[in-house]
Amino acid sequence: MSTVIKNGTIVTADLTYKADVLIEGGQIIAIGAGLSGETVLDATGCYVMPGGIDPHTHLEMPFMGTYSADDFESGTRAALAGGTTMVIDFALPAPGEGLLDALKVWDNKAARAHCDYSFHMAVTWWGEQVFDEMQKVVARGITSFKHFMAYKGSLMVNDDEMFASFKRCAELGAVPMVHAENGDIVAEMSTKLLAEGNTGPEGHAYSRPSQVEGEATNRAIMIADMAGVPLYVVHTSCEEAHEAIRRAKMNGKRVWGEPLIQHLTLDESEYFSEDWDHAARRVMSPPFRNKKHQDSLWAGLASGTLSCVATDHCAFTTEQKRYGLGDFTKIPNGTGGLEDRLPMLWSEGVTTGRLTMNEFVAVTSTNIAKIMGMYPKKGAVLVGADADLIIWDPQARKTISAKSHQSASDYNVFEGKVVTGLPRYTLSRGLVAFAEGKVTAPEGHGEFVARTPMGAENRALSSWKALTAPRPVVRAGIPASGV
């Protein structure tokens, strides 16, 4: 069976042009004028773009005494409805648990996925077993390792553990990732705030100001530099963290920053709502920030100092959020956004002129595929690429609401936002996976995507570090061994 997309304008990270796209066997087999196929999808008035890739989700994540409400079934259904055709979720070993054991658990969870997926592996503790298994994880096509610098007492790792893991990543050609917040300071500030009677959700924002994120980002960049490995900073939410990334990039370091659609479009005033539920539903780490920080993130996307837009989709229900009534440190941290990332970014980025259409494709898909070692299989409109595509109607409008969203959560942090720009069709490996407001890809359609280690940045950085490594000065009459 072949499918042809006709009458559309192709938009990629670097080109905009009119052409038809012919698909067979799940891949793009031709791009050009006057193509024909058995099934015809009309893209009149639409843009044909690579499907979104969300590099940061937590589906059915065990966290803070509960599990995030969206699993791979509802989460990937939400993804397709919003034009996202692939997610990268975090496999999370409990401290002391083996990486391969955790991977088995995530393999099982993901069997229900409606769209393609991959995993990052979290390093939540350090030891010989982790060192050894990292190699096996990379051999399975999981080429990125996440480190939490926050969540003291559960997921947090210390600098020595991060340094050991980053050096291992350098050897394996993998990309270390960090959740950058100073967990020691956050823990102490939380205790003090609670003792002073700041028990509501606003206490969460007070406990983790932008400085703690800026410090941790800077520290992680230094550790990666010492280890000789690139670094990916997740959920970059503030100017201080962006500044650290910007400075590192200007100094030739290989660092990528990932703002979330939530931080770009929602601000800290949400935490001061008199409605406890409203404020608690928005509790996530890092917290939402003010306009100064939001402007910095938008500028970073436009200038290229920030590289990807993600969701960190980690949805909880109102009932789950209420675990933290009377103590903000017990409110499960996380918000949803999988269905809304692309429409929100288009509406607030492209239609306002803060981003070009090509930049939109770069930060939602192509950059992610390149950094994560799966380009051009994913993130491209090219012959031979997987036909993960969106036929994007820039005139289509809707009002975001929990009443009509796919997520299992009973609310939506973007409730009431009117978005312009929606998928008319979403294709997953050539299959029409979303059409006319309905997800049509069956449960289990999603496949695991193995990624390739030793990307160009890892290789270049290894060469440079080898060339500039410290060398002893040879002095006449003084033996180098010191004997």
Q: Please name the helix (run of DSSP H) or strand (run of DSSP E) that holds residue 231, with its range, or none.
A: strand 231-233
407 binds, among Zn ion, ligand URP, none (CB under 5 to 8 A by kind): none
Q: Identity (one letter) of the amino acid at 310?
A: A
357 binds, among ligand URP, Zn ion, none (CB under 5 to 8 A by kind): none
Tell me if 270 contacts ligand URP by CB under 6 A: no
Residue partners of 196: CB distance under 8 A and separation at least 6: none
Nearer to ligand URP, 12 or 285 (CB): 285
Site for Zn ion in 306-325 (CB under 5 A): 312
| Of 261-269, 276-284, 443-451, 467-475: span binding Zn ion (CB under 5 A) | 443-451
Name the 3-class secondary structure at 424.
strand
Residue partners of 403: CB distance under 8 A and separation at least 6: none
Nearer to ligand URP, 147 or 179 (CB): 179
In angstroms, give the least distance from the CB of 332 to ligand URP: 8
Q: How far apart are CA 75 and CA 73, in angstroms?
A: 6
Question: Applying CB under 6 A, what is the total number of residues that bind ligand URP?
Answer: 8
Cα-to-chain-centroid distance, residue 469: 33
DSSP, res 133: H
- Which residue, among 439, 428, 457, 458, has the nearest Cα to 78 in the 3D structure? 439
Nearer to Zn ion, 366 or 406 (CB): 406
Q: In a 10 Å sphere around its CB, with 0-12 CB exposed, 13-18 middle and 19+ buried, how is residue 219 labelled? A: middle
Name the 3-class secondary structure at 165.
helix
The two three-digit tokens of residue 126, written as one number:
């350090």
Q: Identity (one letter) of the amino acid at 382?
A: L
Name the 3-class secondary structure at 170.
helix
Site string for ligand URP, 171-210 (x = CB under 6 A): --------x-------------------------------
Tell me if 333 contacts ligand URP by CB under 6 A: yes
**Cβ atoms of residues 174 and 144 within 8 Å:** yes
- Which residue, among 276, 365, 361, 274, has the nearest Cα to 85 in the 3D structure? 365
Site for Zn ion in 10-69 (CB under 5 A): none
Q: Please name the helix (run of DSSP H) or strand (run of DSSP E) that holds residue 42, with its range, or none.
A: strand 39-42
In angstroms, give the least distance from the CB of 335 to ligand URP: 7
In angstroms, give the least distance from the CB of 276 to Zn ion: 23
In angstroms, give the least distance from the CB of 437 to Zn ion: 15
284 binds, among Zn ion, ligand URP, none (CB under 5 to 8 A by kind): ligand URP
Site for ligand URP in 290-309 (CB under 6 A): none
Site for Zn ion in 151-210 (CB under 5 A): 179
In angstroms, give the least distance from the CB of 63 to ligand URP: 6
20 binds, among Zn ion, ligand URP, none (CB under 5 to 8 A by kind): none
Nearer to ligand URP, 69 or 387 (CB): 69
Query: Where on the chain is the footprint of Zn ion (CB under 5 A)?
Result: 73, 179, 312, 443
